[in-house]
Amino acid sequence: MTFYRNAEATGFAFRSSTYSGGNGDNCLECAVGIPGETAVRDSKNPDGPAHRYPAQVFADFARAVGTGVLVRVDS
């Protein structure tokens, strides 16, 4: 994983999921066009941090969340 303090400064083209409803709330945005990798940021904080992961790692994570393998744990 690579960490960037300012996602906007990376120059990556971030986009929200079509499932987000288009209002920008509580969305994880993904950057496209990075060969073999996926960058993500919080849509509410475009100048905030971004993380870059190997594409397969992020795909596995998204699949686990989507199928309910990973669930929210409240503390």
Domain map (residue ranges) of the chain = 2-66
pLDDT of residue 24: 55
Q: What distances in angstroms separate CA 64 from CA 1, 4, 71, 72, one per listed residue?
A: 18, 25, 9, 12
> pTM for the full model?
0.75
Which tokens belong to 17?
């999921």
CB 31 within 8 A of CB 12: yes
pLDDT of residue 53: 94
pLDDT of residue 60: 93
Q: What is the mean pLDDT of each run of 10 residues along the chain (75 residues)?
A: 86 81 72 89 88 92 86 74
Is 10 buried (19+), middle (13-18) or exposed (0-12) by CB count in 10 A? middle
pLDDT of residue 65: 83
pLDDT of residue 44: 85
